[in-house]
């Protein structure tokens, strides 16, 4: 039976470390501030944004909330971002995605100063990750690296299979695992022979976006299984992309849903905010 990787506990530990650091900086008169922008009122986004604000309050980071109506134009949003870019008291800018369809997400992401891009979505930060330079890294994959390292799981030399190629998770995850000297395979919806490829993974990272899709036939005995998915099943119960019970009986380590990867995303966002202040203010 697999050992559970407790993301709640590991994220709490990271938040404690940050809280202490923020208190020390605050004693020197340095206050950290994150601007959080939400356009429209997508219910899931409202929950995520609320959790981000709560985490800021817990750690001692000031959060500024910008709740803009659905009809906000791209121009209005860009001009708010420009104002926040110029504001020396703001260290991080987060624009919650998805944006309403009339707003071009790429343009919005590119408008955020790379020095305040605590999501790590700006092309400059993505490029820096590709060529091994410093920059902000997307929070979910950065959180997964922390889960592995703090659970003392060896990455170097291991075969890591990632299912999913999104800009937010799959691609940066592949680059981070390469940086840790893993041998990396990226799979996606068109991959042929997916189960066989997954079955060769020492570390399997699943971001396929389909509830309880990955069962025992995808998992090598003793593999580490990281489940990025989060869904509500027909009984309104939270579940991941992985069939948890089946996977847990084959794996050596596994992340649960909820309480695995999810809490790490916010912890790493907080980490990036503190870094932004330390580096650029």
Q: Which two tokens mark 102? A: 């009339």
Q: Give whichever of 148 and 168 is closer to ligand GUN, judged by the CB atom.
A: 168
Q: How many CB atoms lie within 10 A of CB 42?
A: 17
Region of 5-13, 89-97, 198-206, 237-245 interacting with ligand GUN (CB under 6 A)? 89-97
Q: Which of 6, 117, 119, 180 binds ligand GUN (CB under 6 A)?
A: 119
Q: How far apart are CA 230 and CA 62, in angstroms?
A: 28
Q: Is 220 a catalytic residue?
A: no
- Nearest residue to ligand GUN, scored by beta-carbon proximity: 97
| Of 196, 137, 147, 190, the residue nearest 167 (C-alpha) | 137
What is the C-alpha radius of gyration for the chain, rounded to an integer number of angstroms? 19
Segment 123-182, which members bind ligand GUN (CB under 6 A)? 139
> In sequence order, what are the residues at sequence separation of 6 or more whose Cβ sits closer than 8 angstroms to the Cβ of residue 58?
15, 19
Q: Per the residue annotation, which of 52, 115, 116, 171 is the catalytic one?
A: 52
Contact 93, 118 (CB under 8 A): yes
- Least separation in angstroms between residue 270's CB and ligand GUN is 12
| Of 190, 237, 188, 232, the residue nearest 211 (C-alpha) | 232
Residues in contact with ligand GUN, counted by CB under 6 A, come to a total of 7
Q: Is 227 a catalytic residue?
A: no
Region of 93-101, 123-131, 149-157, 185-193 interacting with ligand GUN (CB under 6 A)? 93-101
Segment 208-267, which members bind ligand GUN (CB under 6 A)? 265
Contact 232, 238 (CB under 8 A): yes
Q: Is 52 a catalytic residue?
A: yes
- Least separation in angstroms between residue 52's CB and ligand GUN is 9
Q: Per the residue annotation, which of 38, 96, 117, 227 is the catalytic one?
A: 96
**Which residue numbers are catalytic?**
52, 96, 119
């Amino acid at each position: 039976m697999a050992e559970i990787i407790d993301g709640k506990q590991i994220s709490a530990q990271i938040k404690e470390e940050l809280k202490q650091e923020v208190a020390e900086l605050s004693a020197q008169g340095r206050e950290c501030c994150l601007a959080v922008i939400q356009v429209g009122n997508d219910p899931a986004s409202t929950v995520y944004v609320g959790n981000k604000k709560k985490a800021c309050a817990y750690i001692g980071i000031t959060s500024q909330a910008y709740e803009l109506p659905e009809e906000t134009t791209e121009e209005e949003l860009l001009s708010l971002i420009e104002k926040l870019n110029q504001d020396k008291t703001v260290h991080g800018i987060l624009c919650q995605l998805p944006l309403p369809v009339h707003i071009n997400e790429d343009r919005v992401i590119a408008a955020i100063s790379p020095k305040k891009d605590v999501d790590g979505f700006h092309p400059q930060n993505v490029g820096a990750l590709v060529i091994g330079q410093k920059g902000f890294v997307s929070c979910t994959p950065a959180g997964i690296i922390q889960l592995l390292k703090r659970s003392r799981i060896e990455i170097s030399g291991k075969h890591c299979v990632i299912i999913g190629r999104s800009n937010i998770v799959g691609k940066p995850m592949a680059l981070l695992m390469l940086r840790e000297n893993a041998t990396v395979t990226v799979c996606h919806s068109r991959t042929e022979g997916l189960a066989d490829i997954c079955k060769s993974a020492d570390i399997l990272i699943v971001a396929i976006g389909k509830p309880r899709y990955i069962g025992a036939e995808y998992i090598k005995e003793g593999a580490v299984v990281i489940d990025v998915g989060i869904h509500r099943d027909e009984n309104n119960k939270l579940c991941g992309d992985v069939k948890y019970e089946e996977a847990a009986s084959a794996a050596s380590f596994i992340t649960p849903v909820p309480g695995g990867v999810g809490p790490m995303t916010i912890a790493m966002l907080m980490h990036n905010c503190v870094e932004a202040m330390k580096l650029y203010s």
